[in-house]
Amino acid sequence: MAQKKIHCDCLDTIKPVRDTLDVINGKWKVPIIISVGVGNDRFTDIQESIPGISPKVLAKELKDLEQHKLLRRIIIDEYPVKISYQLEEYADTLTPLIYALKDWGINHRKKVTEK
Amino acid sequence: MAQKKIHCDCLDTIKPVRDTLDVINGKWKVPIIISVGVGNDRFTDIQESIPGISPKVLAKELKDLEQHKLLRRIIIDEYPVKISYQLEEYADTLTPLIYALKDWGINHRKKVTEK
DNA sequence: TATAGTACTTTCCTAAAGGAAAGTGAAGTA
DNA sequence: TACTTCACTTTCCTTTAGGAAAGTACTATA
């Protein structure tokens, strides 16, 4: 009787997790969503609210997030010209994920420092 | 009266999120945790359960996860020598996060394909 | 004409991540 | 002695992410 190699199948979980990671990947996207979510809507305000982010990186990540329909860029035609960034409604679906990331981070820091 | 620049403060959320991302960062760590979690405990089984991962990358990520106390490496001294990878209890704390990643991915795929 | 404000862009560079393919070492088995 | 299995390691290379510093474009106002 042929022995069949069994390794547990977990693609049902891995595949959607990968889909998510493809969207919110990297150091900056979730922080940007958080920042815009609490009300920072201007380029420079977003930049100042996220320590360490450079304008180059911010501009690139904002474009990515726009393409993924997580936020939109609104041109306000006054003097001086302003741009407002707003979360799309779809970004609200990320709320549970963001809380999970936050909660785990808080707990992890507690664990690491209490030694 | 001096105008003070107000930009909404969101560091309380951004900081722990960053701590989390520092640990589970990248394409592979969460998939590996999932795979080991469902019972794949041998190097080659883990490798086969995660499409596209190379042995070099798997070895490196396993070391990282060990350092972060998320899994342990157990040497089984038989012939041929086997290594068993097991999740630490601490890895269980990631469960809510993994579900959040999975659920969002499922929903996102639905959204993207139904157009 | 010069200046100020806003929102970027450009250039240059380093570091980290990732991929392909082949190789290694240890030990038991034929 | 050669072969097999398992768990990696090594080498080489390409791609992506990220950072620092300076520059640009537009327009209104002084």
What pLDDT sits at residue B23? Answer: 93
Q: Quote the minimal CA–CA distance from B85 to chain A in Å.
A: 14
Q: Summarize pLDDT for B10-64 with one digit per residue, the tens.
A: 999 999 999 999 999 899 999 999 999 999 999 999 999 999 999 999 999 999 9
Reported CATH class of domain A14-110: mainly alpha
Q: Summarize pLDDT for A14-24 with one digit per residue, the tens.
A: 999 999 999 99
The CB-based long-range contact list for B26-30 (8 Å cut-off, 24+ gap) reads: B26/B61, B27/A18, B27/A21, B27/A25, B28/B53, B28/B57, B28/B58, B28/B61, B29/B61, B29/B64, B29/B65, B30/A17, B30/A21, B30/B94, B30/B98, B30/B101
For chain B, what are the domain ranges? 11-113
Distance CA A74, CA A62 (A): 12
**CB–CB contact A98 B13 (8 Å):** yes
- Beta strand B82-87 with B71-76 is antiparallel
Instruction: Report residue B35 CA to chain centroid gap.
Output: 10
Q: Does A18 touch chain B (CB under 8 A)?
A: yes
What pLDDT sits at residue A3? Answer: 41
B47-CA/D10-C1' distance, Å: 19
Say which CATH architecture domain B11-113 belongs to.
Orthogonal Bundle (1.10)
**CB–CB contact B90 A101 (8 Å):** no
- For residue A1, what are its two tokens? 């009787």
DSSP states of B67-79: HTTSEEEEEE-SS
**CB nearest to B7's CB, from A16, A49, A100:** A49
Q: Does B49 touch chain A (CB under 8 A)?
A: yes
Q: Summarize pLDDT for B63-104 with one digit per residue, the tens.
A: 999 999 999 999 988 777 889 999 999 999 999 999 999 999
A81-CA/C3-C1' distance, Å: 17
What pLDDT sits at residue A7? Answer: 66
Nearest protein residue to D19's C1' (by CA)?
A54
Collapsed DSSP state (helix, strand, coil) of residue B52: coil
What residues does A87 pair with on adjacent strands?
A71
